[in-house]
Amino acid sequence: MSKILMPNRRQFLMNSAGLAGAAALSGLLPAGAARAAGLTVGFIYVGPKDDFGYNQSHAEGAAAVKAIEGVTVVEEEQVPETVDVQKTMESMIGFDGATLLFPTSFGYFDPHILAVAPKNPNVRFEHCGGLWTPANPTNVGSYFGYIGMGQYLNGIAAGYATKSKKIGFVAAKPIPQVLLNINSFLLGARAVDPTITCQVIFTGEWSLAVKEAEATNALADQGVDVITCHVDGPKVVMETGAGRGMYLCGYHANQSALAPEKYLTGAEWNWAKVYTDMVKTTLAGGTIENFVRGGLADGFIKMSPLGPAVTPEARTRFEAVQAEIMKGGFAAIKGPLKDNKGNVVATEGQSFVETDVALESMDYLVEGVVGSTS
Amino acid sequence: MSLHVDEMTGLAGRTGFLTEAGARRIEAALLPLAALVAGMAVFALFLALLGKSPAEFYALVFKAGFGTAFSWTNTLTRAAPLLLAALCVALPARLGLVIIGGEGAIVLGGVAAGAVAMLMPGLPASVGIALMALAGMAVGGFWIGAVGALRHLRGVNETISSLLMAYIAIALMNHLIEGPLRDPASLNKPSTAPLPEAWRIGEMPGIGVHWGLAFGILACILAFVLIERTTVGFAARIVGGNVRAAEIQGLPAGTLAIGFTALGGAFAGLAGMVEVAAIHGSANASLAAGYGYTGILIAFLARHNGLAIIPAAILFAGIEASSGLVQRRMDLPDATVLVLEGMVFIAILLSDTLQGRIRFLAFLERRLR
């Protein structure tokens, strides 16, 4: 400590020299001087990487990439969807020599990746969210997974666990991805018992712990006894729900450690597989496809191991439906189906399989969901 | 034009090398600088206790904030909105009003700019950009001017009301971009319609920083001239010194309060417009990025002096620009540089109480009497 408070002359000179040296070096050498041999991969997260949710799922993918021979991983968390992320990408390219970037938040794509990518044609940008079109730069790619199927399976587990026939969903914003998850969750539960209803509460923000806790408590007060969510970090919902005696279905990552007795299962991203594949392709000199999608069968998503509260009967059904989904072509949204305002969303015989693009502009909640999109 | 108040009172104090006002200026500059160093030293101690090298930390901050051409581009780009956000605090502060809700004017200024682009996309680009700027400034000015009016007309505490109005502003922004102003094509990130390409504010030639930086610096200079070199600014400073005395002198304290809060809000609204026109290309929830709150620290660091805001904003922008490299190289959490900013802020607030109490400076002043 005394070193810091009262440096002697020699230490002072050393530190000053170090500072001056760093300044001189950074001024003289090209920014990529510190570049390591092999491939440097950058991961950028919008929130904390230990959030038990969206960001953690990507950080788990990054951890898998770290284990690959010849790969250096650099990470940065809590990067807002502003000019911050543009500068973080450029900083990873310039200071760390990264040539493959995974800016993982949905809002990083337009305008931020689209602004930085054309200036860095030798860097590959892989964005999670599935927005790439052929009009976008060719060194940009996007990937996403059909996680609605995971929420459908959550619904199967919830359908067997609920006593009150009321299940609940804490949601961030009424956007298509979230609406598909809510609808899938209810339809999974209704495949078990058609009288089940799902109460949804929107918090309005991706990460707002206080409102998430309030919403969970409000659902518990209304008699909801199984809960899931779509917010960035499900930790608050899971802990609050368990505290109120509800069964839990996870989302984004595995939250069973938060309440092992109450945790039924969860819809998880499996970015470890996706990222490992992409990095290995790059190392082998190949090119990652610009538009990549996958579901359960492709290993893009996976289910948390079933918890102790799942009955043998539920387990059998769960595994049967999972096997069905693995075959491909499964549709959770199929007719006859109405939205919760009485409008027909699918006629008799009409079905929307998981890969159907029409699902990506979903703007309704199906019959049986209690709540409103606006 | 009227004289600076210190010059008026300090004329008698001229000696061989310096006026008394000059000595005060030296003190006014030295104290925050010393506080800055003290804040950094305390933070270095924290780092050392965590087993991290303070030298490495500050070397990284320097490298990523100011050490390379890219670092300067990064820093100056980040400084652009902070300059305008700081003015939203500094201008009212000269009248003794502590406004901390500039964030509200920024987000609504951005939404106003996005709305102009959405409703009148057929206009020529120059007219469109000017209209966006005017709309942003008008809405921002109205929002913070309302805080000044509430203060003057109803005696509502301006600090609290500006903060609460910032929450209202963010809720209003969310309502507008998810409802009436939403571009139906913005599925998973609700936004207003994208600006026409020609309406985007580009980069200044050669330095890779958008024109918002020039707007910010110009605004700071204008604010300095207004406060320090005009009768209106002089009147505002008198009000800041003693409202009742100013009123007895016949100065329109209420009008000044509303005018200066509105002007500060207009600058913050302009910051929102620049974010939309230079960075995002549409108005969306990313407008609430916290620039309004960083602006508070900068304004206090600059002691609410328009010109001093420029280096203060660049310093804070540089510290924030280094956050990523510090995370990546030293494995420190992202909040690290926020802690540093907080310590510097506290040190600077404390340094205010030392004014006139430092022996060396007091000696300097005594010699002049």
pLDDT tens-digit readout, B201-222: 989 998 889 999 999 999 999 9
Shortest Cα–Cα distance, B14 to chain A (Å): 39
B231 and chain A in contact, CB less than 8 A? no
For the stretch A198-230, what's the b/e string if a residue is b when 16 or more beta carbons lie within 10 angstroms of its beta carbon? bbbbbbbbbbbeebbbbbbeebbeeebbbbbbb
Mean pLDDT of chain A: 90
Closest CB to A23: pick one of B62, B70, B187.
B62
B167 and chain A in contact, CB less than 8 A? no
Shortest Cα–Cα distance, B204 to chain A (Å): 16
Q: Where are the domains of chain B?
A: 83-302
The backbone region for B266, taken as left when phi is positive above 0, alpha when psi lies in -120 to 50, beta otherwise, is alpha
pLDDT, residue B181, reads 94
Does ipTM come in above 0.95?
no
Q: Which residues pair with A100 in a beta bridge?
A: A41, A124
pLDDT, residue A32, reads 40
Cβ distance of A83 and B77 shorter than 8 Å: yes
Residue of A nearest to B43 (CA): A4
Per-residue pLDDT reduced to its tens digit, A259-274: 999 999 999 999 999 9
A360 and chain B in contact, CB less than 8 A? yes
B168 and chain A in contact, CB less than 8 A? no
CATH topology for A36-145? Answer: Rossmann fold (3.40.50)
Closest CB to A26: pick one of B68, B188, B333.
B68
Angle, helix B20-49 to helix B336-352, in steps of 10 degrees:
140
Residues B77 and B209: beta-carbon distance below 8 Å: yes
| CA distance linking residue B188 with residue B69, whole number of Å | 36
Contacts of B242 (CB under 8 A, 6+ apart): none
**Where is pLDDT greater, at B10 or A345?**
A345
Cβ distance of B189 and A95 shorter than 8 Å: no
Q: How confident is the model at residue A30 (pLDDT cuts 50, 70, 90)?
A: very low
For the record, the structure tokens of A316 come out as 């059998």
A78 and chain B in contact, CB less than 8 A? yes
Cβ distance of A78 and B334 shorter than 8 Å: yes
Closest CB to B327: pick one of A31, A76, A129.
A76
For the record, the structure tokens of B249 come out as 């002198």
Cβ distance of A80 and B286 shorter than 8 Å: yes
For the record, the structure tokens of B189 come out as 């990130």
Per-residue pLDDT reduced to its tens digit, A332-356: 999 899 999 999 999 999 999 999 9
For the stretch A337-372, what's the b/e string if a residue is b when 16 or more beta carbons lie within 10 angstroms of its beta carbon? bebbeeeebbeeeeebebeeeebeebebbbbbbbbe
Cβ distance of B45 and A4 shorter than 8 Å: yes
Cβ distance of A1 and B49 shorter than 8 Å: yes
Contacts of B11 (CB under 8 A, 6+ apart): B19
Tell me what percent of the residues of chain A surpass a pLDDT of 90: 84
Q: How confident is the model at residue B41 (pLDDT cuts 50, 70, 90)?
A: very high
pLDDT, residue A37, reads 59
| CA distance linking residue B68 with residue B213, whole number of Å | 19
Residue of A nearest to B320 (CA): A84
The strand pair at A351-352 and A333-334 is best described as antiparallel
pLDDT of A3 above 60: no
B317 and chain A in contact, CB less than 8 A? no
| CA distance linking residue A326 with residue A329, whole number of Å | 9
Q: Where are the domains of chain A?
A: 36-145, 148-267+304-370
Per-residue pLDDT reduced to its tens digit, A47-76: 999 999 999 999 999 999 999 999 999 999
Per-residue pLDDT reduced to its tens digit, A174-200: 999 999 999 999 999 999 999 999 999
Per-residue pLDDT reduced to its tens digit, B47-63: 999 999 999 999 999 99
Q: Which residues pair with A76 in a beta bridge?
A: A44
Cβ distance of A111 and B70 shorter than 8 Å: no
Amino acid at B189: K
Q: Which of A193, A194, A175, A188 has its CA nearest to residue A303? A: A188
| CA distance linking residue A354 with residue A346, whole number of Å | 14
Angle, helix B69-93 to helix A83-96, in steps of 10 degrees:
150
B68 and chain A in contact, CB less than 8 A? yes
Amino acid at A199: Q
Which chain A residues are closer than 8 Å to B333 by Cβ?
A: 77
B123 and chain A in contact, CB less than 8 A? no
- Whether the upstream peptide bond of residue B333 has omega within 30° of 0, thus cis, is no
Prediction pTM value: 0.87
Residues A268 and A302: beta-carbon distance below 8 Å: yes
Closest CB to A87: pick one of B58, B289, B321.
B321
Q: Which CATH superfamily is domain A148-267+304-370 in?
A: Response regulator (3.40.50.2300)
Residue of B nearest to A173 (CA): B188
Using CB atoms within 10 Å of the CB of residue B283, give its burial: 0 to 12 exposed, 13 to 18 middle, 19+ buried: buried
B50 and chain A in contact, CB less than 8 A? no
Mean pLDDT of chain B: 90
